[in-house]
Amino acid sequence: MKGRRALTLLALVHALTAPVPGTEPDAQAVLKRLDELYRSDASYAEVALDIVTAHWQRTLEARVWTAGMTKTFIRILSPRKERGVGTLRIDQQMWNYLPKTNKIIKIPPSMMMGSWMGSDFTNDDIVKEHTFSDDYTFALFSPADADPALLYLECRPREGRPIIWARVVVAVRRDDLLPMRQVYYDDQGRAMRELIFREVKPLGGRVLPTVLEMVPRNKPGHKTIIRYQKIEFNPVLGADVFSIRHLRTPL
């Protein structure tokens, strides 16, 4: 009986959030949902990050805490040589902590589009300084090769935003608005990288893609895969989680 109630509740939530057949959802609402899909008011996650190049591969394991869209804390657990490395973002500021030298380095805004931990994800991708719903203009559109099961949005950076992409095409499933693909273009119209969302399943009380694969188009043999192993939404977080002191706290 308890299981039946849970299934009924999940069905009700889906019915309230799914688009009405024959209507187009509000584009900003779709992008806001995408921005917050892995975050909520607060979250805690355990992830594995596979960094693949043409010549080598390595895997990082990390814990990730977030609060809304403005705070992120990441702690590397393995491999041993990177254990304890930390990343902190509060509002528009970001720091990295290197335990081997016991140094905290502040990341300037000019480096937000730089690689995070040697991966194909940027610092901005990881800590979400910029969001689709706030930092881009957007509109629904239908590309020539459109999949009828998908809804497409074209996003362009708002004037004055320090974003290197000229536009981003976002594709979400029509039936539940879950993301499937994001393609990033430069100012010459070239597709430079693609983010693919895979393995949709229940995790942390939500149904969401649990694997995110970033593939740069200009680096053959390169890709970075984030695998969500655990996620909790709206956990009670300590007051010092998002602090410089926490960066220095040993594991």
pTM for this entry: 0.87
- Total number of domains constituting the chain: 1
Q: How confident is the model at residue 251 (pLDDT cuts 50, 70, 90)?
A: confident
Which residues are within 8 A (CB) of 93 and not within 5 positions of it... i.e. 6 or more apart?
Answer: 106
Closest to 205 measured CA to CA, from 38, 32, 70: 38
Residue 89, amino acid: R
Domain that holds residue 213: 25-248
Q: Is the dihedral of CA 142, 37, 135, 111 positive or negative?
A: negative
20 lies in some domain: no
Beta bridge partner(s), residue 230: 46
Q: Is 201 helix (H, G, I), strand (E, B) or coil?
A: strand
pLDDT digits (tens, 9 = 90+) for 42-76: 999 999 999 999 999 999 999 999 999 999 999 99
140 lies in some domain: yes
94 lies in some domain: yes
4 lies in some domain: no
Q: Using the structure block, give the residue that is written with the tokens 């043999």.
A: 221
Closest to 229 measured CA to CA, from 50, 28, 9: 50
230 lies in some domain: yes
6 lies in some domain: no
Distance CA 196, CA 121 (A): 12
- CA–CA distances in Å: residue 80 to residues 43, 45, 49, 76, 77: 25, 20, 15, 9, 8
46 lies in some domain: yes
Distance CA 38, CA 78 (A): 22
- CA–CA distances in Å: residue 15 to residues 26, 44, 81, 227: 16, 27, 47, 28
11 lies in some domain: no
CATH of residue 197's domain is: 2.50.20.10
pLDDT digits (tens, 9 = 90+) for 135-153: 999 999 999 999 999 999 9
Residues in the chain: 251
Could you tell me which residue, 5 or 100, shows the higher pLDDT? 100
Q: How confident is the model at residue 14 (pLDDT cuts 50, 70, 90)?
A: very low
